[in-house]
Chain A
Amino acid sequence: MPQIIRKDRIEEDGWTLLRPAADVEIATVELPATPILVPLALWQARREELLARATPVSVWLAANENPSAIADDLARLPLIAVDFPKFTDGRGYSIARSLRDRHGYRGEIRAIGDVQRDQLHYMRRCGFDAFAVRADHDIERALAGLKSFSDSYQAAVDEPLPLFRRRAQASGAAA
């Protein structure tokens, strides 16, 4: 079973990611019997069928897809994956923040695709809590990427107060 970083630990992962090639007819994609992560287009085309299955199903968003497209289904989805086609394509960070801050999504947000150690810190700050590290990278060593920095200036999902507010609290407490 593939491994994944979830909540700062390495775990076995039972989800099967479906990534049909662009030229494959959505209606003909075969659905395995395991929990599946399907692309948005498949979700939209075969929603009733997917919901009728006894096994869990969730959606992954491509970097150019908007979370609003699944806004009404968020309560049904235990996890949403966001794809990084290249790690230098930073759209996924804004997608995760939008899921958390605009849509209030509380389930798992998983980074998939070109997910590498040196981006995990930023991803977590933006609301990701699971990381499917690129298969050719050592997942054990990638864990260190979550610990690159011990603090941050900005407000984000992991720390809603920007540093200037926390500094003010600290100096207020000291005074």
Chain B
Amino acid sequence: MYRYDATDQRLVDERAAQFGDQMARHLAGELSADDLRPLRLQNGLYIQRHGPMLRIAIPYGALSATQLRKLADLTRRYDRGYGHFTTRQNLQLNWPKFEETPAIIGELASVQMHAIQTSGNCVRNVTTDQFAGVAPDEVADPRPYCELIRQWSTFHPEFAFLPRKFKIAVNAAQEDRALVLAHDVGLELVRDDAGEFGFRVFVGGGLGRTPILGKELCAFLPRRHLLSYLDAVLRVYNGHGRRDNAYKARIKILVQALGVEEFRRQVEEEWAIYRDGPLTVPDEEFDRLAAHFAPPAYQQVADAAGERGELDRLAAEDREFGRWLARCVHGHKVPGYAAVTLSLKKTGVAPGDINAEQMDVAAGLAERFSFGELRVSHEQNLVLADVRLPELPELWRSAREAELATANTGLLTDMICCPGGDLCSLANARSVPIAEAVQRRFTAEREHKLGDLSVNVSGCMNSCGHHHVASIGILGVDKRGEEWYQITLGGLPGREAKLGDVIGPSFRAEEVADVVEQLVAVHEENAQPGERFADTLARLGSTPFRERAYAGRGRHLAQERKPADAANNP
């Protein structure tokens, strides 16, 4: 992974000192709470329902064992011994003390970490595929590009006070695991006919209260132009994005208002000034960055096919291991190796939560089995990217002891879920108890039979839980002070991304798990062999599902609104 040089380290140290000074000036009465707010947000410090929350950056989800141990140590000494991984590959501490946050940030700097630009109206942490560098289906490793973007966006002098936050994601694989269409800028690494690397650039995607999928801004941007082009995109947005209404301030609204052709024209006009200038990234810089992500010293696995056979034999003997092998072990570029998901989705634990002991265990597992590195996935799990096949059984046993081996990756109980009303002051409703109620309805037996199925929960229309792109999305809404939940159906992440449609009037908290079960039952009763929920839904259409959801509830399917209609009609 990327290792800081002296300049990277100095900048992070200087930032820690700057933040410490800002907090000290605030506590001394020299910097008002209002003036501090945008500054502390750009250092990840929110004030939430119960007090401060600190969001620590994990750039494109890459984490070393040493860093994870440090995080464990910080949660013990400054928090309540656990943290929460987010869909943006960051880690949130829910209970830090306001005055202690500079000390936390100072300690993070000692392991090349920080909380820079994890909030605020600036360019946020760039995200990517959790299998970057090892995915069999990628064109090339996206991480060098992510690091280039990290450096370009860190303290960008012109874009620290944008109209609204700005999120960039990079995908380099056949299957889009980074959700590039749901980002302000989505970058897809591609090669042209001459073999040159470049990006297909999408702009104006985002979830939130106005979910929109990104539009193609540029079909092929040679990689050397990446930074000058991003500067141009941001300059147009900075100058023209709306600042009168925070709900209309994202770039998606600007692109919608101008139309993508006019937006592109303005970008190209700005780009002309800087194109081919010093911002042009030479191949040597790409090589330098790529060297940081050079493949580790893989050992030959003499008989990879034989090892596979042995694992299958063990799987047949031990069903639990078999399920884990089927769901949590993923393909790898290198024969004899696999990537492994350490699930943070055990029923009864808030999705994405991990305690300090588990962090230490996961760090140890990374050292024993995966060259001392981990990744955070946008589904809020951890990943060990480089595990030798023969070591899988041993890894499984150790992970299972630490409750990190729930065999549910990609299954119903692998829910993406935001902190919701238990912690978040913007929430309309709680999300964690709803996720748990849904998880409790489904046995391992049943969800393995169901196969791939995403059920995501957000506590309000800010959509931090990605409910729009789930097969079954659950959204908390406030009805006269009561918690209600709207259900969407048919969302899809990835390359074929699609926003789900609202099925009808919302449900009470007690009804949600039952409704999910009814929706799943329609699939179970009608599925053809091998058909996944999303396929059955596509084949049958939503009517039978909607009818079943409301059957016997004394309510009708009136007032149906698609999110897309709501967006056009705010």
A binds B: yes
Interface of A toward B, CB cutoff 8 Å: 87-91, 93-94, 97, 101-102, 116, 118-119, 121-123, 125-126, 138, 141, 148-156, 160-165, 167-168
CA distance A93 to B277 in the complex (A): 20
B279:A152 contact, CB within 8 angstroms: no
Instruction: With both chains docked as a complex, state the minimum distance between the C-beta of B112 and any C-beta of chain A, in angstroms.
Output: 15
In the complex, chain B residues whose CB is within 8 Å of the CB of A167 = 5, 7, 288
CA distance A165 to B227 in the complex (A): 13
In the complex, chain B residues whose CB is within 8 Å of the CB of A87 = 35, 38, 161
Query: Among B5, B10, B15, B235, which residue has its beta carbon within 8 angstroms of that of A94?
Result: B235
A164:B285 contact, CB within 8 angstroms: yes
CA distance A156 to B274 in the complex (A): 11
CA distance A102 to B35 in the complex (A): 32
In the complex, chain A residues whose CB is within 8 Å of the CB of B18 = 118, 148-149
B278:A151 contact, CB within 8 angstroms: no
In the complex, chain A residues whose CB is within 8 Å of the CB of B30 = 138, 141
A149:B239 contact, CB within 8 angstroms: no
In the complex, chain A residues whose CB is within 8 Å of the CB of B355 = none
In the complex, chain A residues whose CB is within 8 Å of the CB of B285 = 164, 168
Q: Which residue of A lies closest to B5 (CB)?
A: A167
CA distance A71 to B288 in the complex (A): 41
- 19 contacting pairs across A/B (C-beta < 8 A): A88-B121, A90-B121, A90-B159, A90-B160, A90-B162, A93-B158, A93-B161, A101-B274, A118-B18, A122-B155, A125-B158, A149-B18, A149-B155, A155-B278, A155-B279, A161-B278, A167-B5, A168-B284, A168-B288
Q: Does B29 contact A (CB under 8 A)?
A: no
B158:A90 contact, CB within 8 angstroms: yes
B121:A165 contact, CB within 8 angstroms: no
Q: Which residue of A lies closest to B160 (CB)?
A: A122
Interface of B toward A, CB cutoff 8 Å: 5, 7, 10-11, 14-15, 18, 22, 30, 35, 38-39, 121, 148, 151-152, 154-162, 227, 235, 238-239, 243, 273-274, 277-279, 281-282, 284-285, 288
Q: Which residue of B lies closest to A147 (CB)?
A: B14
- Whether A154 touches B157, Cβ cut-off 8 Å, given contacts A162-B278, A165-B278, is yes
Q: Which residue of A lies closest to B42 (CB)?
A: A118
CA distance A122 to B238 in the complex (A): 15
Q: Which residue of A lies closest to B121 (CB)?
A: A88
A94:B14 contact, CB within 8 angstroms: no
CA distance A102 to B271 in the complex (A): 11
Q: Which residue of B lies closest to A92 (CB)?
A: B161
Q: Which residue of A lies closest to B120 (CB)?
A: A88
A156:B157 contact, CB within 8 angstroms: yes
Instruction: With both chains docked as a complex, state the minimum distance between the C-beta of B281 and any C-beta of chain A, in angstroms.
Output: 7
In the complex, chain A residues whose CB is within 8 Å of the CB of B7 = 151, 163, 167
A150:B158 contact, CB within 8 angstroms: no
* Seed contacts A94-B239, A102-B273, A153-B151; 18 additional CB < 8 Å A-B pairs: A87-B35, A88-B161, A90-B159, A90-B162, A91-B239, A93-B159, A101-B273, A116-B35, A122-B157, A148-B18, A152-B155, A154-B152, A155-B277, A162-B279, A163-B7, A164-B151, A164-B281, A164-B288
CA distance A168 to B155 in the complex (A): 21
Instruction: With both chains docked as a complex, state the minimum distance between the C-beta of B458 and any C-beta of chain A, in angstroms.
Output: 26
B158:A153 contact, CB within 8 angstroms: no
A94:B158 contact, CB within 8 angstroms: yes
Instruction: With both chains docked as a complex, state the minimum distance between the C-beta of B457 and any C-beta of chain A, in angstroms.
Output: 32
A149:B14 contact, CB within 8 angstroms: yes
A153:B155 contact, CB within 8 angstroms: yes
Instruction: With both chains docked as a complex, state the minimum distance between the C-beta of B491 and any C-beta of chain A, in angstroms.
Output: 33
In the complex, chain A residues whose CB is within 8 Å of the CB of B239 = 91, 94
Query: Among A90, A156, A161, A164, which residue has its beta carbon within 8 angstroms of that of B161?
Result: A90
CA distance A148 to B18 in the complex (A): 7
A91:B22 contact, CB within 8 angstroms: no
A118:B154 contact, CB within 8 angstroms: no
- Whether A89 touches B243, Cβ cut-off 8 Å, given contacts A122-B160, A152-B157, A155-B279, is yes
CA distance A88 to B529 in the complex (A): 56
In the complex, chain B residues whose CB is within 8 Å of the CB of A102 = 273
Query: Among A89, A126, A138, A164, which residue has its beta carbon within 8 angstroms of that of B158?
Result: A126
Which 7 A-B pairs have CB atoms at the shortest separation, nearest pair first? A90-B161, A125-B157, A122-B157, A153-B151, A93-B158, A164-B285, A94-B238
In the complex, chain A residues whose CB is within 8 Å of the CB of B5 = 167
Name, among B10, B157, B279, the residue most crowded by chain A CB atoms within 10 Å (CB to CB). B157
CA distance A44 to B281 in the complex (A): 42
- Whether A168 touches B161, Cβ cut-off 8 Å, given contacts A116-B35, A151-B7, is no
Instruction: With both chains docked as a complex, state the minimum distance between the C-beta of A135 and any C-beta of chain B, in angstroms.
Output: 14
In the complex, chain A residues whose CB is within 8 Å of the CB of B22 = 118
CA distance A163 to B288 in the complex (A): 13
B278:A160 contact, CB within 8 angstroms: yes
